[in-house]
Structure 1
Amino acid sequence: LIAAPVSGAHLNPAVTIALVIAHKFSPSLIPLYFSAQLLGAMFGAGLVWLAYKKHFDITPEAASKLAVFCTSPNIRSYWHNLITEIIGTYVLSLAVLYMAEPEVGLGALNALPVAIVVLGIGLSLGGPTGYAINPARDLGPRIMHYFLPIPGKGDSDWKYSWVPIVGPFAGAVLAALMYMLFTP
């Protein structure tokens, strides 16, 4: 609701790509929006670190600290984790594409059904990957985890970081193609 009047609530680079492919957003704005999305996610992660700094200082488990910043699968199987991210972002992107239709959209309330879709994705697919469904949501905080002085934080799990980037972009592209196939 806050970002919608300014940017159309583009908080997710994968959804932005879906909108570009479906001819609902200008490709020339991609660099600006991607930068803002990533920097916004990093800024948010920095605020979380500040708000919970004392907790980070006394929490001994490195994995618990990392989980605050980025996604991690319960069972690491790159192929299955990737498929989960593709499915989740496909569903999210398709919902956003259809909500962007003027005759379907709810104006300023468009965020509400999208939030319900995100909740459904989280409840159904959150277990296998922690459901990033947004490359900026995972990468921005992961970068902050790497740079912030968090005692005993461990590594930032860069081996897994490609899954919440590639999966959401693939899901968004597939959703945009499906949308274009079935929408006149």
Structure 2
Amino acid sequence: MTPTLSTVFVSEVVGTAMLLLLGGGVVANNILPKNKGNGTGFLMVNFGWGLAVFAGAIVSARSGAHMNPAVTLGIAASDLVAGKSIDGTRILVYICAQMIGAFIGAVLCWLAYRKQFDLAEDPALKLGVFSTGPEDRDYFWNTVTEVIGTFVLVFVVLGAGLLGTAENPAVNLGWLNYLGVALLIVGIGASLGGPTGYAINPARDLGPRIAHAILPIKGKGSSDWAYSWVPVVGPIIGGVLAGLTASALLS
């Protein structure tokens, strides 16, 4: 049964907030001072984000656990290719809820690590908990990286959705299916996350970046709005491209 718009809104807010609380939390634990996990490295961040997606997906299952405008738009693009009708209002509700949830999750993460934020002296570390940034700033190639990473995410997610069919029901593992998405996030981070920190999700980056700009964070510095469009535009392009090609290549 198709979920109501109110169900979609609440579910996506809750799931995306959980995603950003745990995802931002593993970054904070890794890079902020006076933390048990300080310096545990980028691979730990990859696993933390994967498990954050797993937890967020479980609590947002009623809406399909999109938690990502690129996923929402990718599914819409796939439906369009398949000749299905597109509900613009529903898409807008998904994306608005994801942005709000991401903002809330970032605020909760800041509260959990408030003391560590105050102790950190480097403004870049503080922004790094909220949003991604490139290791080598080249807007074109940074965007290309985000396009490719997000394409992999949405393409594989859509491919996995084709597995749970009436003809082959054994592959449908219920909520454990989300574990596959979690491992996919780890894999994308380990393989493609180095250049940009792999946002692969406009809400994941923009919502917390707005929170960073608004919150009274001690010595926070700039929110780096000059880069902010890259983790929005790149994932949207990648998600839509994946949706347009998935039906042709995977069905």
Asked if TM exceeds 0.5, the reply is yes
Alignment of 1:30-179 (within 5 A): 30-101=91-162, 102-103=164-165, 105-179=172-246
* TM-score between the two structures when normalised by the length of structure 1: 0.94
Could you say which structure has the greater relative contact order, defined with CA pairs below 8 angstroms and 6 or more residues apart?
1
1:22 aligns with 2:78: yes
**How many residues matched?**
184
Give, in whole Å, the separation in 1 of the partners of 2:153 and 2:141. 18
Comparing 144-153 with 25-34, greater Cα deviation is found at 25-34
TM-align CA RMSD: 1.5
Q: Which amino acid aligns with 2:130?
A: F
* TM-score between the two structures when normalised by the length of structure 2: 0.70
Give, in whole Å, the separation in 1 of the partners of 2:136 and 2:172. 38
> Per-residue CA shift, 1:120-179, capped at 9, x if unaligned?
110011110000000000000000000000111001000000000000000011111111
> Per-residue CA shift, 1:37-66, capped at 9, x if unaligned?
011100000001101111111111000000
Show structure 1 runs of 5+ residues with no match.
Answer: none
Give structure 1 regions of 4+ aligned residues with deviation exceeding 4 angstroms. none
- Conserved 8 A contact 1:99-1:105: no
Give, in whole Å, the separation in 1 of the partners of 2:172 and 2:152. 17
Secondary structure at 2:200 match in 1: coil
Compare CA radii of gyration and give the structure with the larger one.
Answer: 2
Secondary structure at 2:226 match in 1: coil
Give, in whole Å, the separation in 2 of the partners of 1:180 and 1:5. 23
Q: 1:98 to 1:4 in 2, by over 3 A?
A: farther
CA shift, 1:26, in A, is 4.3
